[in-house]
Amino acid sequence: MSYIVSACQEIAKYLHPGMLIILESTTYPGTTDELVLPMLQRQDITVGKELFLCFSPERVDPGNRHFQTANTPKLVGGVTPLCTAHAAALYEKAVIKVVPVSSPRAAEMAKLLENIFRNVNIALVNELAMLCDRMGIDVWEVVDAAATKPFGFMSFHPGPGVGGHCIPVDPVYLAWKAKEYDFYTNFITLAAEVNANMPYFVVQKLLRALSGRGARVLGSRILLLGVTFKRNVADVRNSPALKVLDLLRDHGIDVTYHDPLTPQLEVKGGELRSVPLTAESLAAADCVVIHTDHPAFDYDWIVEHARLVFDTRNATRDVKAGREKVIRL
């Protein structure tokens, strides 16, 4: 919260009647009322009369070509109805649809619900992926089959974990705040734990695959394809690839990576640079691990030249030749 506190301290130096101040972030319910409002209150300026304070959560999906700022509905919750009205008037200049809610707390909680909904459902399908692995069932086939139901089901896909600046972090805000009300968000906390454990599952399955093919684990060479947390996005914040990479190196494995969007990567113990993706680099690896399914990758070509491919994203689902070399999550 230090960033929000610092910003409010600076704003407070320049307060004057007529200002509209909007906190646009992702944070715990009560931040606007309990943290921001006291920092901006003055005897000569009343919030709701001379000063207008509101919360409006950020809604951004990096890499989404269909929904940008203008066509994504904007939630607005003001400290008073007039605060809400002024904020809505501002956003209506740039956003097609503004959705007023009753309070900043409602808007803050709505944003957390959006992100926690994704986190919980991703955790559910990740847990099923681990169960399917033990039972010898193809989880991708199961998800595709369930998705044919035209009602009551929303498709989520398993993966090596969750990353970015929102999904892995936001549940922690709510879990912390809930304790003030003697409430423990066990369901939400468990989902976060399931997703946080996925890199360990990925590494263990990879080690089993190497051993099952007679390869020595110690000194094995792994080429990691994609290190960003999401396809087509140059963002490695909280990416599961960072944990996967560290775990593999802890097992004495020689790990290199290629990512067209991340030329260099800060890791434990130093810095790595993206290696060129060539037929030679693919063939030299004991296993090529597809971590991030960037659309720029030619998966047919990758499978053709790799000795073994571990696909954590089902990116090779349409590959025709060499499927016997592919292991999927």
Whether residue 62 has pLDDT greater than 80: no
Rounded CA-CA distance 129/143 in Å is 10
Whether residue 151 has pLDDT greater than 80: yes
Q: 198-328 is classed in which CATH architecture? A: 3-Layer(aba) Sandwich (3.40)
Of 41-50, 99-108, 149-158, the range with the lowest mean pLDDT is 41-50
Q: How confident is the model over 10-39, as pLDDT tens digits?
A: 999 999 999 999 999 889 999 999 999 999
Mean pLDDT of 112-126: 94
165 pLDDT band (50/70/90 cuts)?
Answer: confident
CATH code for 2-102?
3.40.50.720
pLDDT score at 63: 76
Active site residues: 166
pLDDT score at 154: 95
Burial of 322 (0-12, 13-18, 19+ CB in 10 A): middle
Rounded CA-CA distance 209/111 in Å is 40
- Give φ, ψ of 271 to 5 degrees: -130, 140
Residues whose CB falls within 8 Å of the CB of residue 293, separated by 6 or more in sequence, listed in order: 226, 231, 313, 314, 315
Mean pLDDT (the chain, rounded) = 94
Residues for the chain: how many in total? 329
Q: How confident is the model over 285-305, as pLDDT tens digits?
A: 999 999 999 999 999 999 999
199 pLDDT band (50/70/90 cuts)?
Answer: very high
Q: How confident is the model over 250-286, as pLDDT tens digits?
A: 999 999 999 999 999 998 888 999 999 999 999 999 9
SS (H, E, C) the chain: CHHHHHHHHHHHCCCCCCCEEEECCCCCCCHHHHHHHHHHCECCECECCCEEEEECCCCCCCCCCCCCCCCCCEEEEECCHHHHHHHHHHHCCCCCCEEECCCHHHHHHHHHHHHHHHHHHHHHHHHHHHHHHHHCCCHHHHHHHHCCCCCCCCCCCCCCCCCCCCCCCHHHHHHHHHHHHCCCCHHHHHHHHHHHHHHHHHHHHHHHHHHHCCCCCCCCEEEEECCCCCCCCCCCCCCHHHHHHHHHHHCCCEEEEECCCCCEEEECCEEEECCCCCHHHHHHCCEEEECCCCCCCCHHHHHHHCCCEEECCCCCCCCCCCHHHEEEC
pLDDT score at 77: 98
Express as a percent the part of the chain with pLDDT over 90: 82
Beta bridge partners of 327: 310
Q: According to CATH, where is 3.40.50.720 located in the chain?
A: 2-102, 198-328
Express as a percent the part of the chain with pLDDT over 70: 100
pLDDT score at 216: 83
